[in-house]
Structure 1
């Protein structure tokens, strides 16, 4: 379980590092941001080195950290390095990401977890640059900025009252230009973003983009949903762009007495369920999916943990993903927040984001999940119960 906790924390950190990240000096009313090629500016980035401060306030709990971060944008995928400075119980933790995978060092345990690279290449950088370009364009034209492709603008929050946030809850953002402000001793353009949504939620973001590279120097987000408020802030200081960073800046020397474990992940893709069954001893579920959904592909994840996955899609681009794993974290669904539900007599949890709904439950030493982009809670539970503990 420690490995999964470390991996989840590292992923959360790297998502912030790769794109999120004095009183303001606002421009006059009606002022517009400069008319520049934002995509070209962003993609001219070669490297970044900074100190990153992040806080997440859940209302009754606040988590904060301060870290040294480095990114080499010229690599594919970008090389990344992070060393935690604060809080004290995480000081010295290191995460390194490169084309071979990720290395996660837990200083308090003196342990290393290696996660091999399983994906080839992504378009995340292009998606992010185009997203920032849409924000700037919306501030100039009073149009609505579409959310980032493939990335939900919402954090994961528990569904309440049986009414999930629809998959298309965030239709876009109304954007207001705030003028310029000095952030990290650099001039930044500010944008106030208010989500346009018919769902019972309120989401406001303030984004400060570097005036030269249009990279986020500071972000602030407040989400109100149901009876919960989640506030997140990320700010960079001591920022340097496009300086020569040696290879040593992205390397970490593992202590000789550290324990080292490798989270082996292998992936196989199959065109039929029968082929998947021929390649694993783990029984493969046979879910009942709603009309209009057809089987698309099956996948097998192996080595340390075995997981089978079935994906179904309809003609509108919506999908249902069904997974079964021979691992159970904490003897439960593994989710810390969510709405408690029952699946064929077994305890489970249901959560929603702005782009999908998730239902997880466990049976003895097996963990199951169903993810959908458009099914409501009732239909998601129905799919889960057709599987039960199969």
Structure 2
């Protein structure tokens, strides 16, 4: 899966804050006009020296006529995987947490009292303070300011840092995240220096990032604007705006009450579940594989082999050995992820889903249709297995049912790996070279 598409399935909290201040028109730095564009390396080194940063984070997500808002308290150590966030508003999600350190990261849903633990991957924090495949936010600053200093502003290696230097916190009604952005599979960007503005009482440099080829993305008018503190180069505000399926879409993050070089204890970045908290350990119970063949060689359950709709590409495969044992294959386009799954039992169906499920029949087999809004799923009860088709993002009901029917209740291609229901484990005790713990941006056991 491309990293821009990966961002599509990251879990997003929805929030809001108003932008204050005014733009300065063209002119020399001495007369209140646009100052010289900062040097990229200087900006990066200044940012990386910030140490621990604490403060408040407000986020607003607008999709068509729907607006969601939240406020969080956060602490993070720049350049590392140390981060902590706690939702303070709205009241329905108050207490939800995200805690990360070098070893693992946790997502805690306060209303359900469920904590989920994940293993890091190389790309875990491509949209956070810390490290990613292409580096941290400092690497983004270096590339972006240097591009803005060029005559046309075009850059082909802009690090993917998503919506800003903070991880997304689980905050949905069901404890799951939603897609933060309709990103494009963009190979080149144009960076424009927009002068200075005052945001959240901070003087900022403005960087505007757009695809060099507007047709590279299904989302129209895609623009990402970074407002970075003039002195410290911390991103005080990040705006992503686009038109998706003819409707306006935006994701805006604003940081305030910032304390740089804060005195933060090491325990801040550790998480200890409560005695009664349900813990789901995805760090060991979900293994991601780069190919379907790699999953098939390491699972006791036949790998799903669906008819993949036009426009969708293979993302990755995952072996599951948690509440249910099985395997999944994920496909994505610019706006949606499709998940094809096969399991030894129907424990994969959550209690909340059963409460809203609609009975139907798929190819002569009993089935359940679940609509949770942005996520939908079809579970088909085969003789020996439960197969499922799920969509994350916009996808028609009839098309999802057809995708489920294509999974076929018979043994899938790649069988012969121990197909008897009740097998003790869905993952072989084998050399898992090339496999890794699944990221939290796609909860591989959840539709």
Q: With the length of structure 1 as denominator, give the TM-score of the two structures.
A: 0.65
1:363 maps to what in 2?
380
Distance 1:105 1:129, change over 3 A: same
2:227 maps to what in 1?
208
1:229 maps to what in 2?
248
- Say which is worse superposed, 81-90 or 177-186, in terms of deviation: 177-186
Q: Secondary structure at the match of 2:140?
A: helix
Q: 1:175-214 to 2 correspondence within 5 Å? A: 175-195=191-211, 196-198=213-215, 201-214=220-233
Alignment size in residue pairs: 328
Does 1:83 pair with 2:99? no
Does 1:261 pair with 2:293? no
Q: Secondary structure at the match of 1:119?
A: coil
Q: CA deviation at 1:147?
A: 7.1
Q: CA deviation at 1:182?
A: 3.2
Q: Tell whether the 8 Å contact from 1:104 to 1:114 is kept in structure 2 after alignment.
A: yes
Distance 1:268 1:103, change over 3 A: closer
- Structure having the larger proportion of residues in strand: 1
Q: Secondary structure at the match of 2:190?
A: strand
Q: Secondary structure at the match of 2:12?
A: helix
Q: Tell whether the 8 Å contact from 1:118 to 1:266 is kept in structure 2 after alignment.
A: no
Distance 1:204 1:122, change over 3 A: closer
Distance 1:156 1:212, change over 3 A: closer
Distance in 1, Cα, partners of 2:239 & 2:38: 22
Does 1:130 pair with 2:135? no
Distance in 1, Cα, partners of 2:63 & 2:123: 34
Distance 1:39 1:107, change over 3 A: same
* Deviation digits for residues 280-310 of structure 1 (CA, Å, limit 9, x no counterpart): 33222356899xxxx9997533233434356
- Say which is worse superposed, 100-109 or 199-208, in terms of deviation: 100-109
- Say which is worse superposed, 59-68 or 272-281, in terms of deviation: 272-281
Q: Tell whether the 8 Å contact from 2:341 to 2:388 is kept in structure 1 after alignment.
A: yes
Q: 1:23 aligns with which of 21, 45, 59?
A: 21
Q: CA deviation at 1:101?
A: 2.5
- Over aligned residues, Cα RMSD in angstroms? 4.7
Distance 1:123 1:84, change over 3 A: closer
Q: 1:52-131 to 2 correspondence within 5 Å? A: 52-73=57-78, 75=80, 78-109=81-112, 111-117=113-119, 119=121, 124=126, 125=131, 126-131=135-140
1:12 maps to what in 2?
12
Q: Secondary structure at the match of 1:41?
A: helix
2:260 maps to what in 1?
241
Q: CA deviation at 1:245?
A: 0.9
Q: CA deviation at 1:68?
A: 0.6
Q: With the length of structure 2 as denominator, give the TM-score of the two structures.
A: 0.58
2:148 maps to what in 1?
139
